[in-house]
Amino acid sequence: MKKIISILMVCLLAVALTACGSNDKEKKASDNDKTKTSEAQKKQEEQMKEMQKKLEAQKVANGKVVATVNNDKIIGKDYNQALSSSQMQMQQMGQDPSSKEASKQIKSQTIESLIGQSLIMQDAKKKGYKASSAEVNKELEKTKKQYKGEKNFNKALKQAKLTESELKDQITDGITSQKYIDKEVPADTVTDKEIQDYYNQYAKQGTGKGQKPPKLEEVKPQIKQQLEQQKKQEKLMSHVKELKKNAKIDIKI
C-alpha cells in the first residue's frame, strides 16, 4: 500500500509542476522519478514473488503424514497451516524465513509445536475435557462478526483453504485444550519483586540509550501480564516435556 501511495504522489506532483508552467528540465526530472519508482516497485514485486516461491517450497503434500504421536497422525495440511503462521511471524519480526538456516528452524519449531498440541489434546480427551456445542457455536459466531458479513467470512475461509466444518473442529480443539491448560497447567503467581526486577532491567536499558523510562506504576500491569505469559509458556513447555516421556513419537520429515 505504501508503494502504491508513493507512485500516486509522484504522478500528482508531475501534474502540479506542469500546471504551474514547469520547464522541460523539471518535467524530465519528474519522468525520471516516475521511472525509478516504477523500477523499484517492479524489483520489489519480483523479490516478493521469489520469496513466496521459496516459502511454498518449504511445504509438503497436504495428505503426507509428517509425524505420528502415539496413534494420532499429523498430516501435511495441518503442518502447512502452522508453517505459514511461523513464516509470517518471522517476517513480522523483520527476519527472512526463506533462508536455509531459518527454514530448518521453522520446520523444527512447527513440528515440535504440532507434537505438543497433539499430546495436550490426547491427555485432555483422556481426562474428559471437552467443548460443548454452545461454546463452539458462540466462538464461531464471534469469529464471523469480525469479518462483518457472511461473504467476507467465506472469502477468508477460502483464502485459508478451510471449510466451516474444519474451522469448527479447530475451535473445538482450541476450547478443549484451553480448558485443559487452565486446569492442569495453571499460571504461577507473579510477585512484586519479580515485577520490580524486570522493571529495573528495563529501566537500565532505557537509560543506557539516553531515554527516560516511564514510572513503574505506569507499566506495572503490562509487566505483570508479560511475566505471567512467560511463566505459563515455560510451565506448558515443561508439561509437554513430561507428556513426551511416555509417548511414542515418530517424525517423518
Domain boundaries, the chain: 1-53
Q: Which three cell numbers stand for residue 28?
A: 524530465
Mean pLDDT, consecutive 10-residue segments, the chain of 253 residues? Answer: 32 32 50 68 83 90 95 93 90 88 92 95 96 95 89 89 90 95 91 94 72 87 93 93 96 94
Looking at residue 149, its pLDDT comes to 83
- Helix, strand or coil, per DSSP, at residue 109: helix
Distance CA 135, CA 180 (A): 15
Cα–Cα distance list, 104 to 73, 99, 109, 137 (Å): 22, 9, 9, 38
Maximum CA extent, the chain? 81
Distance CA 195, CA 227 (A): 8
Distance CA 64, CA 75 (A): 5
Paired residues of 215 in beta bridges? none
Distance CA 200, CA 207 (A): 10
Q: Which three cell numbers stand for residue 40?
A: 523499484
The beta strands (E) that lie in 3-143 are given as 65-69, 72-75
Looking at residue 125, its pLDDT comes to 94
Looking at residue 59, its pLDDT comes to 94
Q: Could you give the dihedral angle defined by the CA atoms of residues 63, 66, 69 and 74, in that order, rounded to the nearest 10 degrees?
A: -40
Q: Determine phi and psi for 71, rounding to 5 degrees.
A: -100, 5
Looking at residue 107, its pLDDT comes to 93
Q: DSSP code of 185?
A: S
Radius of gyration (C-alpha) of the chain in whole angstroms? 25
Looking at residue 47, its pLDDT comes to 79
Closest of 58, 171, 172, 181 to residue 111, by C-alpha? 58
Distance CA 9, CA 37 (A): 11
